[in-house]
Amino acid sequence: MVIKTYDAYTRLSTMEANRFANFLFDHQEGKKAEKKAIRKAIQYSTKDIPGLGGYVFAMEEKNEILGLAVVNKTGMGDYIPENFLVFFVIHRDYRGNDIEQKLLDYTLQYCKGDVAIHITSENQYPNKKFFEEKGFNATHLEMRLNR
């Protein structure tokens, strides 16, 4: 089992980015993010589109993706977390073992500064307890005006 790191310096090929987007789409829980949004988060992380960048962490074994984490840097560390964990998805056949823990440990070790994740009833509510056990806590209620 290996965890590969992709960012502005270790770019993803288009084929690999599509493979990752398909994995995230197929294995995410609850209300699914659109593939377009998933690709955009990946592209932002690797600076294929303008922004501060971030990271894509891919845990694989024998060319099979076991889990992926996509982190976008916010550049706003003085007032919100510097890192936003946009996607944290484990292959549905490997959930409930140490893969989740290993990928999160690697992600948190690699990211400098605070890390935020949005967990809603529509996306990853079953993972709420996992993240709470790892030290994440609810700090505020987010309200949105969707236009």
What's the pLDDT tens digit per position in 84-143?
Answer: 999 999 999 998 889 999 999 999 999 999 999 877 655 555 677 777 878 888 777 676
Of 139, 144, 147, which is closest to residue 117 (Cα–Cα)?
139
* Architecture of the domain whose range is 2-133: 3-Layer(aba) Sandwich (3.40)
Question: Residue 55: its pLDDT value, please?
Answer: 98
Which residues are within 8 A (CB) of 135 and not within 5 positions of it... i.e. 6 or more apart?
none
* DSSP string computed for 22-36: HHHHHH--SSPPPHH
Dihedral sign from CA coordinates of 11, 13, 17, 23: negative
Q: Which sequence spans correspond to the domains of the chain?
A: 2-133
Q: What share of the chain has pLDDT > 90, as a percent?
A: 68
